[in-house]
Structure 1
Amino acid sequence: MAGILVVTHGEMANGMMDSLSLIMGEQSDYLTLGLKHGDDISEFNEKIQASIVELDKGKGVLVLVDLLSASPYNQAAMCFNKLKEQHDYRLIAGTNLPMLIEAFNQRMIGADLTTMYQAVMTAGKEGIKEFLEEMNKMNA
């Protein structure tokens, strides 16, 4: 089973996991990290690395971050060269709740890391809808 690491600014990661537990029940083999004002960025990088190592039980780790090119993303990306020889992980930016739900759903059915991240990417894109556009589709 692949591990899941959610890394965001502030408490967003914890809030998303709280919402996920309401929908899917309590989960295991995941960690959350939040970058807060005043955090040392090198220590944050070390926490990300340690979390990936802890979560990788041989099936890899899906790392979900909030924003492309922001500190959580950059620090997770910087870990790649240090970890790539022993740990497989995929890093996805722009995390939303549909993506998180899909990640845990994919993991429940035993998907490998590649299948998992591809399904998560699709769920993220397809989970963005606008009310009037959706109503017009239903009435067409």
Structure 2
Amino acid sequence: MTGILVVTHGEMATGLMDSLSLIMGDQEDYQTLGLKHGDDIVEFSEKIQAGICELDQGEGVLVLVDLFSASPYNQAAMSFNKLKDHKYRLVSGVNLPMLIEAFNQRMIGADLETMYQAAMNTGKDGIKEFLEEMAKLNS
């Protein structure tokens, strides 16, 4: 089973998983990490690496972070060289539709490549504005 690691600033990762469990039920083979004020960045990086190692059961890990080029993303990206024996994909901009899609893909047995692509597409497609959507319906 492909592991899923959600890494964000603060408690966002925990909150996303709380929402996901409300919608999809309890899940397994995932972890959440949140960077908080005063956290040591080296220790945070080590936690990311440990999470990837623990979650990788041979099928890889999908790492979802909140912001591109911010600390959670950077620490996961800088870990690639240290984790050459582990396969993982790093995707920024995590949102609830993306997370649901990742878990849905995993449930149907999709591989890591399919999971990350489907999650990215769903994450992007899940961003809508009410008046624009209403205009599409009326045209």
TM-score interval, normalised by the smaller of the two chains: over 0.9
Corresponding position of 2:31: 31
Residue 136 of structure 1: how far off its partner (Å) = 1.1
Corresponding position of 2:11: 11
Q: Show the 5 A alignment for 1:1-140.
A: 1-84=1-84, 86-140=85-139
The one-letter code sitting in structure 2 at the alignment partner of 1:59 is E
The one-letter code sitting in structure 2 at the alignment partner of 1:3 is G
Partner Cα separation in structure 2 for residue 63 and residue 110 of structure 1: 17
Partner Cα separation in structure 1 for residue 56 and residue 50 of structure 2: 10
Partner Cα separation in structure 2 for residue 82 and residue 112 of structure 1: 23
Q: Secondary structure of the residue that 2:7 maps to in structure 1?
A: strand
Partner Cα separation in structure 2 for residue 98 and residue 14 of structure 1: 15
Length-normalised TM-score, structure 2? 0.99
**RMSD between superposed Cα atoms in Å:** 0.5
Length-normalised TM-score, structure 1? 0.98
The one-letter code sitting in structure 2 at the alignment partner of 1:47 is K
Name stretches of at least 5 consecutive residues in structure 1 with no aligned partner: none
Name stretches of at least 5 consecutive residues in structure 2 with no aligned partner: none
The one-letter code sitting in structure 2 at the alignment partner of 1:109 is I
Partner Cα separation in structure 2 for residue 3 and residue 12 of structure 1: 19
Q: Secondary structure of the residue that 1:94 maps to in structure 2?
A: coil
Residue deviations 1:68-127, cap 9 Å, x none?
Answer: 01000000001101102x100000001111100000000000000000000011001100
Q: Secondary structure of the residue that 1:62 maps to in structure 2?
A: strand
Partner Cα separation in structure 1 for residue 93 and residue 11 of structure 2: 15
Residue 18 of structure 1: how far off its partner (Å) = 0.3
Residue 41 of structure 1: how far off its partner (Å) = 0.3
Q: Deviating runs (4+, > 6 A) in structure 1?
A: none
- Number of aligned positions between the proteins: 139
* % identity of equivalent residues: 81
Partner Cα separation in structure 2 for residue 71 and residue 16 of structure 1: 19
